């Protein structure tokens, strides 16, 4: 109900106007479930308000499907709500056109895939393809706020996925599990990531889901009952040491991650200690360690199960203390201890940082919890993460400085790369400025060599057309066609350049091999005699040359048993020397020669 409050607070504001516009645009439309379509953008905006996004982002949440699904245009949104909101909606619309169908090779590309294996030149591995897809989404977004809207959209779609036909359910669940949940994780939105995976799980593994539901239900209930009993005991213990948690609650393990963990533990639920964890939220970091000490004093910790993610945060910025102890009645209990600030960060990830920066900048809406200043003074783990990605793709601009946070929100760390898509949904990662020829060579060298033309988003383009992120590229090929040297003028990628050069070199070698003369034909007039052939042969042998054959133009004329001698030699000097010697042989009248 945050959305209602925001509208009430500012009835003529951006959010209120976006609400009215979207309601009108979607009027009469229904979702698959039969409910009014407008319920969906409301839910998305509500999620974004819950993440405490800025007004433009919440407005974009309300408007996110208007361009794709109604008669509204980006121009119209620009006029009504300004550049910023229209830009965010445009980004979400573009993302909506990218569809991930999993790493399985589609039927049409089987041939290319097979020859790629044959050539031993592996195409990007499955993990590489998934990673490229995540990068494509970030690159297309251009602003992390677009990703937030897309994630909120995805969260609500997953919550209502049951209404869709099974094939669509599977595709969307797979995309969520392999692309969006990991993306949320990278952005530090730990909770959202787990939620998305959990929502996808029953659609991807229905049998396993039913099995785990049945086999863990009793265990869950027992664990909860146990922790209910333990809770006052823990609180009393902490109070004795002058510690008072802000909240104490239980965190049930998600089915999705539980299943993955059980696979590792031989499907033995008895070995999963953190089925339900007790979560203690305190005010300060010293209090976190103090609580840990009190717990360890009361109950012995299990070796190897103490995790200090405060001193060493996870790469995505997650911070907390974890420990597993042998509690009362010899039962194993996991504790998670963290500050309220860490908790918020773990829930919202980048979105939380976004919030701090925004508060610091404009001071609008809720009172900042004095987090902003200190937060931004530190180098953030997730910024490190983005930096790593950026280095990975060879971009040079640094975003390590938290002061450049806002610039980091604008996703320009992929500005030197573009991500284009094959008709089968595979993402091809290319340097900026790349052309269909670069694309073709990245699909496979044979596709590059045989390229004759290209379609981009369904329209024919010349081979030197400059591709944009998100372009769907189809390469037209002709069997036996060879690359053109002119392509070197416009290709951008090393792979394409190398392949074209290799092909050029092969072409030249083929041209050279051909008729380089290596033999010579002596035309010779003789007066035959006994021993003439023997004398001629001996003379040629003394000159270290080989006879290939004696030929005769007039085989029936006995005066001329032969009139040509073919020998293996193409050096004029040697031949002329030989001719002088042959002229000295008795019976030889005339000799001339030609190279053949």
Q: What amino acid positions are annotated as catalytic residues?
A: 68-69
Mark the segment that binds Mn ion (CB under 5 A) among 65-73, 238-246, 275-283, 342-350: 65-73
Question: Of the candidates 65, 90, 334, 429, which one interacts with Mn ion according to CB under 5 A?
Answer: 65
Residues 387-446 that bind Mn ion (CB under 5 A): none
C-alpha separations of 152 from 155, 395, 490, 588 in Å: 5, 29, 41, 100
Report if residue 46 touches Mn ion, rule: CB under 5 A.
no
DSSP for residue 143: B
Mark the segment that binds Mn ion (CB under 5 A) among 27-35, 72-80, 149-157, 583-591: 149-157
Provide DSSP, 360-403. HHH--SSPP-S-HHHHHHSPPHHHHHHHHHHHHTT------SGG
Mark the segment that binds Mn ion (CB under 5 A) among 63-71, 107-115, 428-436, 441-449: 63-71
Residue with tokens 């002061």: 403
> Least CB distance from residue 504 to Mn ion, whole Å?
50
> Least CB distance from residue 92 to Mn ion, whole Å?
8
Which is closer to Mn ion, CB of 67 or CB of 386?
67
Q: What are the backbone angles phi and psi of residue 341, rounded to the nearest 5°?
A: -65, -45
303 by DSSP, 3-state: which?
coil
375's CB contacts (< 8 A; 6+ apart) are 353, 356
Which is closer to Mn ion, CB of 158 or CB of 276?
158
> Least CB distance from residue 164 to Mn ion, whole Å?
13
> Least CB distance from residue 10 to Mn ion, whole Å?
24
CA–CA dist 347, 51 (Å, integer): 9
* Contact between 184 and 196 (Cβ < 8 Å): yes
Which is closer to Mn ion, CB of 89 or CB of 275?
89
Strand partners of residue 337: 280, 321
> Least CB distance from residue 218 to Mn ion, whole Å?
39
Which of 568, 530, 532 lies closest to 549 in space, CA to CA? 568
Instruction: Give the DSSP H/E element, type plus range, for residue 252.
Output: strand 247-252
DSSP for residue 108: G
577's CB contacts (< 8 A; 6+ apart) are 543
Instruction: Give the DSSP H/E element, type plus range, for residue 420.
Output: strand 417-421
Torsion sign (Cα): 213, 216, 222, 223: negative
* Contact between 41 and 65 (Cβ < 8 Å): yes
> Least CB distance from residue 151 to Mn ion, whole Å?
11
> Least CB distance from residue 41 to Mn ion, whole Å?
7
> Least CB distance from residue 449 to Mn ion, whole Å?
42
Which is closer to Mn ion, CB of 154 or CB of 279?
154
Report if residue 341 touches Mn ion, rule: CB under 5 A.
no
Using left for φ > 0, alpha for ψ between -120 and 50, and beta otherwise, residue 208 falls in: alpha
> Least CB distance from residue 226 to Mn ion, whole Å?
42
* Contact between 71 and 25 (Cβ < 8 Å): yes
Which of 191, 455, 179, 149 lies closest to 316 in space, CA to CA? 191
Mark the segment that binds Mn ion (CB under 5 A) among 59-67, 98-106, 272-280, 473-481: 59-67
315 by DSSP, 3-state: which?
coil
The number of residues that bind Mn ion (CB under 5 A) is 2
Mark the segment that binds Mn ion (CB under 5 A) among 64-72, 181-189, 364-372, 394-402: 64-72
Which is closer to Mn ion, CB of 153 or CB of 177?
153
Strands 276-282, 332-339: pairing kind: parallel
Based on the number of CB atoms within 10 Å of its own CB, is 553 exposed (0-12), middle (13-18) or buried (19 or more)? exposed
491's CB contacts (< 8 A; 6+ apart) are 434, 435, 437, 438, 441, 497, 500
Binding mask 489-528 for Mn ion (x = CB under 5 A): ----------------------------------------
Q: Encode burial over 381-403: b for 16+ CB neighbours within 10 A, e otherwise.
A: bbbebbbebbeeeebeeebeebe
> Least CB distance from residue 290 to Mn ion, whole Å?
46
Which is closer to Mn ion, CB of 65 or CB of 84?
65
Mark the segment that binds Mn ion (CB under 5 A) among 153-161, 213-221, 290-298, 342-350: 153-161
> Least CB distance from residue 253 to Mn ion, whole Å?
30
* Contact between 413 and 386 (Cβ < 8 Å): yes
Report if residue 153 touches Mn ion, rule: CB under 5 A.
yes
Mark the segment that binds Mn ion (CB under 5 A) among 61-69, 335-343, 479-487, 488-496: 61-69
* Contact between 93 and 68 (Cβ < 8 Å): yes
CA–CA dist 543, 573 (Å, integer): 12
Mark the segment that binds Mn ion (CB under 5 A) among 17-25, 152-160, 162-170, 414-422: 152-160
Binding mask 288-327 for Mn ion (x = CB under 5 A): ----------------------------------------
Residue nearest to Mn ion (CB): 153
CA–CA dist 426, 129 (Å, integer): 7
Which is closer to Mn ion, CB of 55 or CB of 153?
153
445's CB contacts (< 8 A; 6+ apart) are 119, 121, 499
Instruction: Point out which residues bind Mn ion (CB under 5 A).
Output: 65, 153
């Amino acid at each position: 109900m945050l959305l209602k409050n925001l509208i009430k607070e500012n009835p003529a504001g951006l959010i209120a106007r976006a609400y009215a516009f979207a309601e009108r645009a979607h009027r009469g439309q229904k979702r698959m479930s039969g409910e009014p379509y407008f319920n969906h953008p409301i839910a998305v905006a509500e999620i974004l308000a819950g993440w405490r996004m800025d007004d433009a982002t919440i407005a974009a949440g309300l408007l996110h499907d208007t361009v794709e699904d109604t008669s509204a245009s980006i121009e119209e949104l620009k006029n009504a709500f300004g550049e910023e909101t229209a830009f965010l909606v445009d980004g979400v619309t573009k993302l909506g056109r990218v569809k991930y169908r999993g790493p399985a090779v589609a039927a049409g590309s089987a041939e290319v895939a097979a020859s790629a294996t044959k050539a031993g030149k592996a195409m990007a591995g499955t993990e590489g393809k998934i990673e490229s897809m995540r990068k494509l989404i970030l690159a297309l977004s251009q602003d992390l706020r677009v990703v937030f809207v897309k994630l909120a959209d995805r969260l609500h779609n997953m919550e209502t996925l049951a209404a869709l036909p099974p094939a669509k359910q599977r595709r969307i669940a797979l995309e969520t599990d392999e692309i969006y949940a990991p993306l949320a994780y990278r952005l530090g939105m730990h909770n959202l990531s787990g939620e998305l995976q959990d929502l996808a799980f029953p659609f991807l593994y229905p049998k396993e889901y039913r099995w785990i539901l049945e086999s863990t239900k009793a265990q869950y209930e027992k664990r909860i009952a146990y922790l209910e009993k333990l809770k006052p005991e823990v609180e009393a213990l902490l109070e004795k040491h002058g510690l008072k948690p802000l909240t104490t609650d239980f965190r049930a393990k998600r089915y999705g991650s539980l299943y993955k963990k059980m696979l590792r533990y031989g499907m033995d639920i008895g070995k999963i200690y953190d089925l339900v964890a007790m979560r203690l939220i305190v005010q300060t970091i010293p209090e976190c360690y103090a609580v840990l000490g009190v717990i360890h004093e009361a109950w012995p910790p299990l070796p190897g199960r103490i995790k200090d993610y405060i001193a060493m945060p996870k790469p995505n910025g997650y911070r907390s203390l974890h420990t597993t102890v042998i509690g009362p009645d010899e039962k194993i209990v996991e504790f998670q201890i963290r500050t309220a600030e860490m908790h918020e960060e773990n829930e919202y990830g980048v979105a939380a940082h976004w919030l701090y920066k925004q508060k610091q900048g404009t001071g609008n809406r809720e009172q900042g919890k004095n987090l902003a200043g200190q937060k931004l003074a530190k180098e953030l783990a997730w910024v490190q993460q983005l930096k790593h990605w950026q280095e990975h793709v060879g971009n040079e601009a640094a975003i390590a400085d938290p002061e450049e946070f806002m610039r980091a929100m604008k996703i320009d760390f992929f500005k030197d790369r573009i991500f284009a898509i094959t008709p089968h949904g595979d993402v091809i990662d290319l340097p900026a400025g790349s052309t269909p020829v670069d694309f073709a060579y990245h699909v496979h060298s044979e596709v590059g060599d045989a390229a004759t033309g290209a379609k981009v988003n369904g329209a024919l383009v010349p081979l030197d057309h400059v591709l944009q992120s998100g372009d769907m590229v189809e390469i037209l090929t002709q069997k036996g066609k060879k690359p053109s040297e002119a392509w070197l003028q416009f290709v951008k990628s090393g792979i394409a350049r190398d392949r074209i050069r290799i092909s050029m070199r092969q072409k030249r070698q083929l041209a050279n091999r051909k008729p380089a003369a290596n033999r010579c034909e002596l035309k010779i007039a003789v007066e035959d005699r006994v021993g003439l052939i023997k004398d001629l042969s001996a003379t040629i042998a003394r000159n270290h040359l080989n006879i290939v054959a004696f030929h005769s133009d007039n085989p029936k004329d006995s005066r001329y048993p032969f009139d040509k001698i073919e020998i293996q030699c193409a050096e004029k000097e040697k031949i002329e020397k030989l001719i002088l010697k042959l002229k000295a042989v008795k019976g030889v009248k005339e000799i001339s020669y030609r190279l053949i």
